[in-house]
A and B are shown apart, each in its own frame.
Chain A
Amino acid sequence: MNGTGSESPASSPMKPLIEIKGVRHAYRTPAGPLPVLDGLELSVPEGEFCAVVGPSGCGKSTLTRLVAGLMKPDAGEVWLSGERVTSPRKTVGMAFQNPVLLEWRTILDNVILPLEIVAPRMPRRDRVARAEELLAMVGLDGFEDKRPSELSGGMRQRASLCRSIVHKPSVLILDEPFGALDNFTREDLWQTMRDLRAAEPFTTILITHDLRESVFLGDQVVVLSGRPARTQYVMDVDLPPDRDLDVLFEPKVGDMLHILRDQIKVAQGRASEAAA
């Protein structure tokens, strides 16, 4: 594998919770098969946060659907917690760029939704308590009985995050959840995400287009090549887990962002610019 390097060679002693080995996938289109993933490798230790970046349309969303078990790859393997993924499982949480809240439910009942599937016998009182605890953590206490249409975009996305982890999933899959927000709201949500991570025991894959986001939130940043995507570069982010937004102004982080940017240019097939 050319170009697969890492900043610090020390690998985690823990067994990876999410593992993707040699995944290849193509979509069938009228014009013939369209390969989107080819040679994808990914390994995320338990509790870690893996940010995945890459050029537009390189198959990042396909990656999330494979990890969620919503699709099967043509070749290769996806493993979660030592089990091969072939179908959806209750231990996964998902959030998307579109918060997809159900407009006919209150915020509280939106957050409770996964519990109705995962824990159908859980008493209503316990569900409400769990949802209220999370809503308070993201700063939405007092909004439990509002409808999604009464909330701002950032608040809806907060509620969506609560819903994705309400059932204590071991794997959290985030597909550009902050992509449609303005910059200030986005930075607020990065901090919310960091705090949720400290309080809840999930292992995360985050798809993003934002390199600053990937470095601020990630323990490792994986750069995918252009379509068909393979793992082009892996960076270990050597920063404390309780990092502050100011960390983004440190020279060390500037260097990381620079490397990632060059890698994205390579992925886009503009390597000559990267060398400059």
Chain B
Amino acid sequence: MIRSVGVPVVALAVFTAIWEFVVWANGWPDFVMASPSDLPAAYARFWELFLTGAWQTLWRTVAGLVLAVIVGLLLGMIMGFSRIMRDALYPLLVGFNAIPKATLVPVLALLFIGQHDFNTVMMAFLISFFPIAVSVGIGLSTLEPEYRDILRSLGASKVTIFWKIALPKTLPEFFGALKVSVTLAFIGTNLVEIVSPHGRGLGALFLSGQTNSNYPLMFAVLIALAVLGIALYYAVVWLEKTFAGWAERKG
């Protein structure tokens, strides 16, 4: 307990101290580089904006991630159970994943003009469904035939085999992918918030800090984003422990 809480706290303190020291030693003023001691003032002054921004960023990320889980699972199931569909979909998905998502911001903005929340959720979804689809697809297609045969030899339906064996067996891979996807979805949300005009959320707050040359505000936003990202990540870790804790080896 002391180690699992103490070590990260000490690491955080050391990091903050080094940051403070580097800014102080170089004699950088506020408008070049903010130091940690500038941040509390920024939080105190803009706390309302931080709360609404964080909420907007959070719910749109989670909404995009939920979409990514649903679509990723469906695509993964399609690719996992049908060789033809795998051959057909795989190059498409890889190609789509290779496109820098920043280029899609104007596309989405034109397609769904003014639908800011929708655009942001879409981007969070588009950037994050790929790892889920691939890992579920691979998990299902590499299921050893004996696992299927223990139920198939009793005349169990494909649906039963999926729920009782294939799905639980794939859960560890699924959560591994979800840990990647949650960070990606978060990046997708912020991308839209920063790039598109009249944005909302923490990304827009960052942009306004930039416009006003308020460096402490910008850094305060970055730290807030990091904290939110950590919270999201550990939420997934908690889900994994709850639903796929059996995959963890003890000792």
List residues of A whose CB falls within 8 A of some B CB.
65, 68-70, 87-90, 92-94, 96, 98, 100, 102-104, 113-114, 116-118, 147, 149, 163, 167, 173
| A103 pairs with B149, CB closer than 8 A | no
Q: B149, B160, B171, B244: which contacts A117 (Cβ < 8 A)?
A: B160
Chain A residues positioned under 8 Å from B151 (CB to CB): 113-114, 117
> Could you give 21 example pairs across A and B, Cβ below 8 Å?
A65-B149, A68-B149, A70-B149, A88-B153, A88-B155, A89-B154, A90-B155, A92-B153, A92-B154, A98-B144, A100-B147, A103-B247, A104-B171, A104-B246, A104-B247, A114-B150, A117-B151, A117-B154, A117-B160, A147-B246, A173-B153
Chain A residues positioned under 8 Å from B232 (CB to CB): none
Q: B146, B155, B156, B171: which contacts A100 (Cβ < 8 A)?
A: B146
Does B152 lie at the interface of the complex (its beta carbon under 8 Å from any beta carbon of A)? yes
Give the complex CA separation of A167 and B155 in angstroms.
13
Q: B146, B152, B154, B246: which contacts A103 (Cβ < 8 A)?
A: B246
| A68 pairs with B153, CB closer than 8 A | yes
Min CB distance B176 to A, Å, is: 16
CB-CB contacts below 8 Å: B121-150 with A: 144, 146-147, 149-150
Min CB distance A36 to B, Å, is: 16
Min CB distance A136 to B, Å, is: 22
Residue ID in chain B nearest A175 by CB atoms: B146
Chain B residues positioned under 8 Å from A147 (CB to CB): 246
Residue ID in chain A nearest B151 by CB atoms: A117
Residue ID in chain B nearest A167 by CB atoms: B154
Residue ID in chain B nearest A147 by CB atoms: B246
| A70 pairs with B168, CB closer than 8 A | no
Q: A69, A90, A92, A102: which contacts B165 (Cβ < 8 A)?
A: A102
How many B residues touch A, CB cutoff 8 Å? 21
| B152 pairs with A90, CB closer than 8 A | no
| A149 pairs with B249, CB closer than 8 A | yes
Residue ID in chain A nearest B154 by CB atoms: A117
Chain A residues positioned under 8 Å from B156 (CB to CB): 117
| A117 pairs with B155, CB closer than 8 A | yes
| A94 pairs with B155, CB closer than 8 A | no
Does B164 lie at the interface of the complex (its beta carbon under 8 Å from any beta carbon of A)? yes
Q: B154, B164, B171: which contacts A88 (Cβ < 8 A)?
A: B154
Residue ID in chain B nearest A67 by CB atoms: B153
| A96 pairs with B146, CB closer than 8 A | yes
Given contacts A88-B152, A104-B244, A149-B249, 12 further A-B contacts (CB under 8 A): A65-B149, A69-B153, A90-B154, A93-B153, A100-B147, A102-B168, A104-B171, A104-B246, A114-B150, A117-B151, A117-B154, A117-B160
Give the complex CA separation of A30 and B40 in angstroms.
69
| A70 pairs with B150, CB closer than 8 A | no
| B153 pairs with A87, CB closer than 8 A | no
Give the complex CA separation of A103 and B160 in angstroms.
17
| B149 pairs with A94, CB closer than 8 A | yes
Chain A residues positioned under 8 Å from B171 (CB to CB): 104
Given known pairs A103-B246, A104-B246, A147-B246, the reply for A113 and B153 (CB within 8 Å) is no
Give the complex CA separation of A119 and B154 in angstroms.
11
Min CB distance B170 to A, Å, is: 11
Give the complex CA separation of A118 and B154 in angstroms.
7
Binary flags per residue of B164-203, CB closer than 8 Å to A gives 1, else 0: 1100110100000000000000000000000000000000
Min CB distance B118 to A, Å, is: 37
Given known pairs A68-B149, A70-B149, A117-B156, the reply for A104 and B164 (CB within 8 Å) is no
| B164 pairs with A116, CB closer than 8 A | yes
Give the complex CA separation of A114 and B149 in angstroms.
11
Given known pairs A104-B168, A116-B164, the reply for A163 and B150 (CB within 8 Å) is yes
Chain A residues positioned under 8 Å from B154 (CB to CB): 88-90, 92, 114, 117-118, 167
Give the complex CA separation of A88 and B155 in angstroms.
5
Q: A94, A98, A116, A149: which contacts B153 (Cβ < 8 A)?
A: A94
Residue ID in chain A nearest B156 by CB atoms: A117
